[in-house]
Structure formats: structure tokens, C-alpha cells
Structure 1
């Protein structure tokens, strides 16, 4: 086996660089080693690939390079052992098929107006001229959409408890001590609720309990008219024709609950920053939105070309995943001129692929028009991963992103409260805006005033 070259620094130092500035570290490695290099974690070599031809081979050669669920065991702490990330083969394919309708087509469209209403309701709570953290407000919107889409909940005690619990888990998982414990197993000690790891285990147990209570209650109600993911799964049969257990149902809904909230909120916050950091982008986007007139149909918003380009460019610079989940080489193969033996791990390097000069000239600049001038393949632009492990909520993330941005921009004149460049903060696979994008509402837009008058006239 001949492996690509890679850094020889002590593994603790590489972990530190990956944890604190993974994009900067990857940029440095790309300059030294090109679009494929090896980082050895312990005794396991991991190849990071950012070459589109190599990526295509990795995503399509599922027999020799499977994306095994066992490689995502570190995620099982929260998502459970029966979650979509941990399943393989026929079970994985079947469960994805059961969940997909909720993220596409008529089901997704039915949430359009609710997303716009929630956005107006939550953003409208901020006083004119008062600074607010955009990420926090958007997180509240995506959380409420997530609870309704995945569990069908929009009110009640269990809804309120989950609305507080899910952000608490996310915030705790971002803390340095929990991040370090994910890398160093000896730190994973339960010292009670006052220790970070102990608190995380306590919150996980509370989450499991709430979801199990919801499942048991649904089994007694058996309401087939409900249109949420949990209801779909409860009325479906598994690949063997059997009803799924309470534990299987609980684990299957956890990943979409978190993904629909956290990744979406992060992407939308970054988009708000870029739009208001670059006045020409904001002006062009407002021009496009205003041509739709007052109270446009959500699906007409989703189809706007420049809005789509802005969202794609946001996801190019800071994708919702910096790297794909690992793939395992199970049979000898050749990849980009290298002979690889079974046991080698491969990870597609999304952040470096999105920064290739040959694909994206001036890659560090925010230029939405590049997505109007060229169509990129799924091996060149892959913000949600690819292959059979593509993020199941990708369509929902883009749908939410477009509607929330369009509603905020159409209804309010917004300004950045801090003109200094927003810095990225890396936690796990996600890249958050470090200051949450601080903004202020300067005024309601004239279009909103016209819309309100027209609404009153109809009444």
C-alpha cells in the first residue's frame, strides 16, 4: 500500500489545529500536499480527498468503499444506536425512504406559510434600533419548525420542555470540555450533573424520556391524519414487515430534530451576515424579492435564482459539514494513483473542495453570481455531503433558509450592528459565526406597510 503524504506533527497538535481552525489547517495542508493527503490518527490512516474525480469514485463505489454506520458510533451518545447515522445496508436504505416524504414535495410545501409566519412573529418581537443576536432568533424559528415537522408538536408541556432542552444539549456539546471529551475518552466520566459529561448524560436521559413518552402516547391515539415524521414511522413497517419498537422510533427522530434546527440556523445566520456585509448583494436580492409583490407564494420565493445563488454561496464558504462521514476501504482499490489496502479510512474534504481555485476563482470572496454562471456537479459542490449518506434534511435546510431570509429582508430594513468581519468559530463539524451576527432593525420596509394596508382592506 502506498499512501499520500501528510503531516508528521504529533497527533495532539493535529487534534488541536482541527478543533480550533480546521479550515485554516486544511488550507495549509492543501498548499503542502495537494488535493489528497493522509493524517494518521493513532494507527489508522485517514485520507482526506478534495479532488472531484476522487470524490465521485468514493461516493459511487459503495461495494468496496461503504459508508458504515459503525464508523459513526461517536454520534450514538445522543442519537442512539438505532439512529439513521448508525444503520447500514437494507435497514439504512429502508428507513431513509420512510423519512424522505417529510422533507420533499407537498409535505414540505405545506410548511412554507408557517415558516414565514414564525419568522415575522419572532423577528417582529425585536424593538426598532435595538441590537439582537440574529443566530439566537433564527435558532428559535428553526427549532419550532423542527418540532412541528419531526414530532408534530406546536404547543403543550412536552413541546415547551423540548424547546428548552434541545438548545441546552447543543450548547453543552459546544463547550471546550465536552469537545475535548469527544476526542479523549478518559474525560468521559460521569461525576454527576455538575460535571460537563455527567450533565450531558442527564440531558440525554431527559430527551429520551420525553420522546419515549410521546411515542407511547401516539400508540394509544393512533391518529393517521397527522403529517409528521414520527407519525409516518409509527404507521410504517420495517424491512421485515414488522412494526418498529419504541426505541427504534425514538432514535430515528433524534438526528432530524437536531439537524433541522442547528445546521439550518447556522447557515441562515451566515447568509444574513454576507448579505448585509455586501450592500450590492443585498440590493440585488431585494430587487428580486420586491418583483414578487406583496404576500408572494412561498414556492415562488424558493424558485428565485439570485436568492438560490446567495444560499449556495453561503454554503460553499461555510458548509453545514466540513468533512463527510468516514468511508472504509474493504477491498484493495486504486484511488487517484494510490493503491489502498482494506482498513484505510476515507473522508471527503468538503471545505477544501469548495475552495478549489479551478472551480471557484477567488474562493475566499463571496460571489453568488458564480452559481448563476455555472452548474456544479455533486462532486464539486456538496454542502450536505454525498452518496448514500447525504444529509436527509438537505431540502428542508434550503427551503427554510430561503423563506426565512426572504421574509426578514422583505419585511424589515436590517443593519449589522458591528461592521467588523464576523469570524468563524468551529465546533464539531459545524462552523458558527463567533458573535452570532449582531443586527438591528432600522425600520419596517415600505413594502410591509403596503402589505399591512392591503391586509386590513381585505378584512
Structure 2
């Protein structure tokens, strides 16, 4: 017998406020009452949305794309003020598939080894600057340093820009813009359109609008320069997008290229910076983990053999456990029921919005015993399916930059651990909090460079 889906009975406005202010508390409270599936009234997706965190249900949702469930880009509208509406995140159907196929090669294969040297050099430069600026024995925010590293790397991958005035301007403006949404309070404007009012440069949304305009101008200037001086031999993503063409032979418009670049820049550095920050926090919180990791890293014959470092089992387990206990993305991209479907003994009607809850999935006790504890060994002891461990989402909207993010994370951690001596400035537990549409460490994690 099919039953109705349990629905959180708190009034809608209160749910919306709690979802923005304390998403972890909101999800955990709901899951204690309704462990596998529940209906929520959170803002940003419509009137109601069904949360799933049971692996088989998530598999059914993700492996029946376009049959039982579709994945319309328009449901990601909360990101439109930042990303525009022409990037791979916002596209649908065949256009989404083709754009994805165009972008994917930039993050796979032989390019990884080339990125290895870049990642090492950028990491070394950032930490040497900390030394030069007399950060020794005084606290610095780890997440700021990680964002500096990841932003430089993604600028190189996307634009081929490593130095120069335009690169530095983009780096500065991108950092400033992402900091505008660094807390639940400042992130609220993304969820409540009534707060998206340009009341001048000193208003929060007005400040965002002006910074976004400056970033847009820099990106369009770079596109125009590449049109005027084409270099087909270049391997950055911008060159690939400019040389691409649709079935009718026409290339992408400048607006389409712009939106794609902006999406890759933002998604490609914010999330990775957060993941690397959490990893450093746990490694330096647990001496046994750090000791095992250093022992494994020091046994690598050639410290510049990036692929050997990438394949290290314990380093991989530490990164996976970091992404499990603190998934940067709380949710999969939403799906819509195409035709009435049965899910976990419940009937879902057409047009119902369904979403996979990555955070709750990663904290299921039957999958991950002692789920609140950091235990890398769990990834050495068993293999988890793509529907049990999914820090990069799944299905047709799985993160295109997954391979680069994992590679970057491992090479950055290895470089820091082998060359610099860090310790936590404060032993108090660090909690996750909302940062835009993601979860990040509250306070940025203070560490000392010894």
C-alpha cells in the first residue's frame, strides 16, 4: 500500500529561515523524525520539495533521468544572479549534454600531470608568501590561503592566465565577490528575491551587482582579445569554447562563453578551497592521521611524480573521509517527476520536485558507523557505491571538475605536509555553516605556520 510522504509541519516561512540560517540543524532534525524521505517547504525550489537520503532511492532518481525523472536547469535558478542562464548548470536536454561533453576533456587524462606542477608551484608560492609576510608563529586563516591557491589554479585552467594585470584583477574581484556570501546572514539574499535590491554601492546587493559588472567586463575583454588574436594551439578551456560549434556550424555566442567561464571559475575554486581547508583541519586535529599520512608521503620515491601521489591509498582515504563528513555541496541538483512514480513505498505525482540530500546520506549510521567521527580507514575497508558516497553529485549533472578537484586536493595537501609545519591555533571544534549554497568551516579555520 502506497502512503503519503511525511511532511515537516513547521510553517513555511520558519522552515525557509531555518534552512538559510542553519541548514545542518534543519536537515538533522528532519532526518531524526523521517530518516529516509520527507517533504520540505524550503525556499529556492518552489512550494515543496521531496528530500531523499536513502541510497537505493537516490539511485532510482539518478539512473532514470528523462524517464521517471528529468533534470531541468531552470530549477537551479537560485544561481542565476551569479552565473547567468547559459552555463552547463542552467542548460537542459541535448544542449546540456553537448556543452558538458565539450568541457569535460579539460579536466581529465594527460592534463592532470601537467596541472600537477602548476598546483605545486602555486601552493609553494602562497605559503612562501606567508613566511615572507611574517606569518610565522601567528595565526592565519587556512581557508583564505586555500582559496588563493585554488583560484590561481582555476584561472590557469580556464583562461591560461597565470600572471598579468587582468589575471590579478579577476583574482581580486572573484575573491571579493565570493566573500559577499561568506555567512548565512549575507547568503540570505540568494534565497529571498525581495532582498535583491540595488540601493547603491554601499548596499549589500548593490555592492554585489557592481563587483559582478567588473568581473563581466574583464571576462568579455579576454574573450574579445582571443577573438582578435586566436591561438588554436592553446589548451585552456576558453580556447576550446571559442573553437566549438553547434550542429548548424555556428559557434557559441560571447554571452554563452561568458556564462560558462564564470560558472567554471566560481564552482572550480570555492568548493575545492573549502574541501582542502577541512582536510587540513582534520589532519592536524588527529595526530595518528597526520603521522600515517606523512609516512605514506615520505615513501614516494619521486616527490614530483604527481600521479603516484594521486594514487596513494591513505591520502585518498583522508580526502574521501573529508568529503564524506563535510560534503561541500549539501544537495544534488533537483529532479522533476515526469510521470507518477513509486519511491520508498510512496507515490510521487508528476511535476514533484525531488532532491538527493548528500549531507544526510553521508551521515547514515548503517553506512558509516560513528558517522560524526573522522575515520579514513572506512574507505580502506570497503568500497562505497556512487549512491552511498557522492560528494560530487551524480547522474547527468555530476560535477564536471571532479577529477581536477580530487587531483588538486591531493597535490596541495602533499605539498603542504612535506614542506611546511602547521598546527591549529585553537583546539575548539569547528562547525560547518552556510556559505552561499555550500557548507564551509565557520571562522575559516585558524592555523599557525611554525
Q: Give TM class, smaller chain.
A: over 0.9
- The residue that corresponds to 1:271 in the other structure is 279
User: Out of 90, 93, 96, which is 1:92 matched to?
Assistant: 96
Contact 2:69 2:337 in 1 (8 A): yes
Mapped to 2, the partners of 1:428 and 1:181 lie a distance apart of: 9
Confirm or deny that 1:70 pairs with 2:78.
no
1:451 aligned partner: none
Alignment match of 1:427 (pick from 417, 428, 435): 435
User: Under a length normalisation based on structure 1, what TM-score does the superposition of the two structures give?
Assistant: 0.93
How much does 1:423 deviate? 2.1
Asked if 1:56 corresponds to 2:59, the answer is yes
Q: Residues of 2 paired with 1:317 and 1:304: CA distance?
A: 20
Equivalent residues in 2 for 1:402-413 (5 A)?
402-413=410-421
2:129 to 125, 131, 152: 125
- Give, in angstroms, the shift of residue 182 of structure 1: 2.2
* Structure 1 residues 427-446: aligned runs within 5 Å: 427-442=435-450
Select 2:202's aligned residue among 194, 197, 200: 194
Gaps of 5+ in 1: 443-459
SS of equivalent to 2:225: helix
Shift of 1:164: 0.5
1: CA distance, partners of 2:216 / 2:375: 43
The residue aligned with 1:369 is 377
Do the aligned residues in 2 keep the contact of 1:91 with 1:239 (CA within 8 Å)?
Answer: no
The CA deviation at 1:14 is 1.2
1:236 aligns with 2:244: yes
State whether residues 44 and 344 of structure 1, in contact with CA within 8 Å, keep that contact through their aligned partners in structure 2: no
Question: 1:435 is paired with a residue of what secondary structure?
Answer: helix
Distance in 1 of aligned mates of 2:42 and 2:426: 40
Q: CA RMSD in A?
A: 1.5
Match of residue 211, structure 2, among 203, 209, 227: 203
1:160-180 Cα offsets, whole Å, 9 max, x none, are 110111011111133555422
Deviations 1:377-408 (A, max 9, x none): 01000001110011111111111100000000
1:47 to 42, 45, 50: 50
- 4+ aligned runs moved over 4 Å, structure 1: 175-178
1:436 & 1:339 partners in 2: Cα distance?
43
Q: Please report how far the alpha carbon of residue 2 of structure 1 lies from its aligned counterpart in structure 2 after TM superposition.
A: 5.1
Secondary structure at 2:48's aligned position in 1?
strand
| Comparing 240-249 and 354-363, the one that deviates more | 240-249
Query: Is this contact kept in 2: 1:19–1:428, CA < 8 A?
Result: no
Q: Deviations over 1:180-217 (max 9, x none)?
A: 22222222211111111111111111111111111111
Between stretches 195-204 and 354-363, larger displacement belongs to 195-204
Offset of residue 429 of structure 1? 2.9
1:248 is the counterpart of 2:249: no
Match of 1:286 among 294, 315, 328: 294
Q: Distance in 1 between matches of 2:220 and 2:130?
A: 36
2:175 is aligned, of 164, 167, 182, to: 167
User: 1:8 and 2:16 equivalent?
Assistant: no
Superposed displacement of residue 226, structure 1: 1.0
Could you report, residue by residue, the CA deviation over 1:412-451 in whole angstroms, capped at 9, with x for unpaired residues? 1211111111222222332111121211222xxxxxxxxx
Unaligned runs of 5+ in 2: none
Q: Which residue of 2 aligns with 1:33?
A: 34
Q: TM-score, normalised by structure 2?
A: 0.95
Q: CA deviation at 1:293?
A: 4.0
Cα distance in 1 between the residues matched to 2:390 and 2:279: 17
- CA displacement at 1:259 relative to structure 2: 1.4
